[in-house]
Amino acid sequence: MIGEVTRAQVAASGPMATLLYDDWYPALRSSEVAGKHMARAMLLGIPLVLGRTTEGKYFAMRDACPHRGIPLSYGWFDGRQVTCKYHGWAFEPVSGQCREIPSLTEEDSLDPSRIFAAAFPCEQRDGHVWVYVPQPGRGRLRPDMELPAVPEVPKFSRRCRTAHLAADLPCNVDHGIIGLMDPAHGPFVHNAWWWRSRRSIHAKTKQFEPIENGFRMIAHQPSTNSAPYKLLGVYGQPITTTIDFVLPNRRYEIIRCGDKWFASLTTVTPTAENQCRIDVCGAWNIFRNVPFLTSMAKFFGRRFVRQDQLTMIQQAEGLKHNPSLMLIDDADRPAKWYFELKQARLESQATGAPMRHPMSGPVTLRWRS
């Protein structure tokens, strides 16, 4: 985790955001729940306890015993069931079903198996544990209920390398996401010899098109003022970049150069209504024989994400006063689409009507960066 946010910085957080439910969110790295170790996480304001059974199944339970509310994470996990520290109630963690209440006698008619602690669908992809968070008040999900596919990084060959980054942001998820998709901050926030400088600012034209639950920056030649893209020129093949944004919080980037490729999935996940976390997972088959490439990628990646994190910390100082804000065309048009997509999804969930996409067709945007 890059530079965890302090209490003072969290206190500076701005206004809360409306959260999107009925979708998958990354809770933590899968390495945090190895063996019989349980880990705690906060997701959309919900305290969770996560782990992995001896059968290899990941689980995510609300970190509260349904009896008296003590966090289950204070209890014990033997690889098969989670036992509450307070009164010894035991639960099968994947379903949340109660298996045992030690205080019951033969005369008691209560059937423990009819009691369920809150448990959420949980899957592992690309080194992250993903949790499906339903709308509050929806009740327990049926095991046979069809859910959306769990997100994962696109891959184009069997052999590849991967790396992960994460950072806490003291802002609501809306500000985190529009910062993620903002095309104009690069030369200022990421001003560095290994990325780009203010002197390199020039006019750009990009084509966008609507996709399901989001929009796509159509395949194009990457920016000539970004050093990492220039390195791919050694392969002597045309280089293209495609960038997708998909609700509720996902940015996919795919860079192709012949049979060489780099792909990433970046998410901005609300941990609370006014706090979020950025997670990056990258995969690639480029420069596979270069020594220490993964270490170098992580070093520069941490620098890059830390620059975004520091900017968000500074922005939070202003947002705590709830100032009036503005979005301009064309550089902020993707941010406008995000808010329109989010509102369309909320309306669709409330009415049951099909989601209305704010984009009617391809759009050309122009800005300088």
Residue 231: give the domain boundaries: 161-368
Would residue 256 count as lying in a domain? Answer: yes
Would residue 109 count as lying in a domain? Answer: yes
Which of 85, 117, 133 is the last residue before a domain boundary?
133
Would residue 16 count as lying in a domain? Answer: no
- When divided into structural domains, the chain yields a total of 2
80: Cβ contacts below 8 Å, ≥ 6 apart: 53, 54, 92
Would residue 67 count as lying in a domain? Answer: yes
Residues 211 and 358 both lie in one domain: yes
CATH of the domain at 90: 2.102.10.10
Spatial contact of 268 and 19, defined as CB atoms under 8 Å apart = no
Would residue 110 count as lying in a domain? Answer: yes
CATH of the domain at 335: 3.90.380.10
- CB-neighbour burial class of residue 22 (10 A; exposed 0-12, middle 13-18, buried 19+): middle
Which of 133, 148, 169 is the last residue before a domain boundary?
133
pLDDT tens for the 369 residues of the chain, in order: 665 555 444 444 556 889 999 999 999 999 999 889 999 999 999 999 999 999 999 999 999 999 999 999 999 999 999 999 999 999 999 999 999 999 999 999 999 999 999 999 999 999 999 999 999 988 888 878 899 999 999 999 989 989 999 999 999 999 999 998 888 888 888 776 556 566 778 888 999 999 999 999 998 887 655 555 666 666 678 889 999 999 999 999 999 988 999 999 999 999 998 899 999 999 999 876 666 667 767 777 788 888 888 888 899 889 888 889 899 999 999 999 999 999 999 999 999 999 999 999 999 999 888
Spatial contact of 362 and 209, defined as CB atoms under 8 Å apart = yes
Would residue 152 count as lying in a domain? Answer: no
Would residue 340 count as lying in a domain? Answer: yes
Spatial contact of 308 and 167, defined as CB atoms under 8 Å apart = yes
